[in-house]
Amino acid sequence: MSCSYSPKLFFFLLLHLFLASTEPIPSLPNVEKLSFHEGYTQIFGDSNLMLHHEGKKVHISLNERTGSGFRSQESYLYGFFSASIKLPSDYTAGVVVAFYMSNGDVYEKTHDELDFEFLGNVRGRDWRVQTNVYGNGSTSIGREERYGLWFDPTEDFHQYSILWTYDTIIFYVDDIPIREVKRVSSRDVYFPLKPMSLYATIWDGSTWATSGGRYKVNYKYAPFIAEFTDLVLHSCATHHALACASASVLSPEQRLAMESFRRRYMTYGYCYDRIRYAVPLAECNVGPEKELFLMSGESRAYERRHRMKRRPWRGTADPGF
């Protein structure tokens, strides 16, 4: 009997073994889930933000009138920030749901930012997840990465988290580290080093979010509702700094899970974009794996899967990403 190798099956098996053998990541003391009133405030959208279950669940929505959003009441210099999120389903082209850290309201020209951005799509096509890091106003130097997911983020809640310490940033999806950013040196001006607030928003990104703006928000499908729960704001202040620093050191199992995820699900990496950056940025350690990516930074493997997936849609509406 022959046996064929499936990278997707391998990832699922690795994921199962990983979750069965480790504690939730990161393992930090005194991490508490907050209600909306305990840590957050609405920033726009009036009735498009609704609270449920005594403020433990938050719905933010986008309709033709407005989007909506909220932010933390306090700002933080380093910490662990997390939420379980369920994204809108059906046709969501042009819709952007963002879960991010920023201090742009305080440092207009030198702001820092850590982003999870969820980019909607046409019916039958998957949401895409984008992460980005800005430091000291470096918005002209994009450090984007984009990924697919191994699940449908519209069917149930999934946890998205950011761990930020003085020299490391780690993005997590369901306790799996998907991206690690290290401070290059003490003189690295592009690493975020100023206090930031946490934000969650939903808005119309028709000009760029889906196929570079080809597909716009269609408000006949509105309202688009993103649901948030299990909200965590955990400061890595002085008395928690050691625990946060320890949690930012990935174990061999964590690193294996991250590398497996990135091989399978990363669809774009700025370090491999030789059109934007003829010389890779200082933090990029580019090796032979660059051959897995096109000049544009797009994954070759993703392009092949993408073309195969698109075939049934040829000649029909909503061709998508």
pLDDT digits (tens, 9 = 90+) for 80-137: 999 999 999 999 999 999 999 999 999 999 999 999 999 999 999 999 999 999 999 8
- Looking at residue 295, what is its pLDDT? 95
Report yes or no: 233 and 72 within 8 Å, Cβ to Cβ: yes
Measured in Å, how far apart are the chain's first and last C-alpha atoms?
38
Lowest mean per-residue pLDDT among 255-259, 267-271, 310-314: 310-314
- Looking at residue 142, what is its pLDDT? 83
**pTM for this prediction:** 0.88
Say whether pLDDT at 150 is over 70. yes
Catalytic residue selected from 113, 145, 227, 298: 113
CA distances from 231 to 67, 124, 152, 159, 270 (A): 20, 30, 21, 10, 30
Question: Could you tell me which residues come within 8 angstroms of residue 259 by beta carbon, excluding any fewer than 6 positions away?
Answer: none
Say whether pLDDT at 306 is over 70. no
When mean pLDDT is compared over 149-163, 235-249, 284-298, the highest value belongs to 149-163
Say whether pLDDT at 225 is over 70. yes
Say whether pLDDT at 28 is over 90. no
Q: Which has more pLDDT, 22 or 243?
A: 243
- Looking at residue 15, what is its pLDDT? 57
Question: Could you tell me which residues come within 8 angstroms of residue 55 by beta carbon, excluding any fewer than 6 positions away?
Answer: 35, 36, 37, 38
User: In the predicted model, what is the mean pLDDT of residues 136-144?
Assistant: 86
Q: Is 144 a catalytic residue?
A: no
Q: Is 117 a catalytic residue?
A: yes
**Percent of the residues in the chain that have a pLDDT greater than 90, as a whole number:** 70
Per DSSP, the three-state class of 158 is strand
Q: Quick one: pLDDT band at residue 182, thresholds 50, 70, 90? A: very high
Please state, in angstroms and rounded to a whole number, the distance separating the CA atoms of residues 311 and 127.
19
- Looking at residue 5, what is its pLDDT? 46
Q: Within the chain, how many helices (H) and strands (E) appear? A: 5, 17
Catalytic residue selected from 54, 64, 117, 303: 117
Please state, in angstroms and rounded to a whole number, the distance separating the CA atoms of residues 194 and 321.
36
Q: Quick one: pLDDT band at residue 282, thresholds 50, 70, 90? A: confident
Lowest mean per-residue pLDDT among 115-119, 181-185, 199-203, 302-306: 302-306
Residue 21 has, within 13 A of its CA and on its CB side, a CA count of 11
Q: Quick one: pLDDT band at residue 60, thresholds 50, 70, 90? A: very high
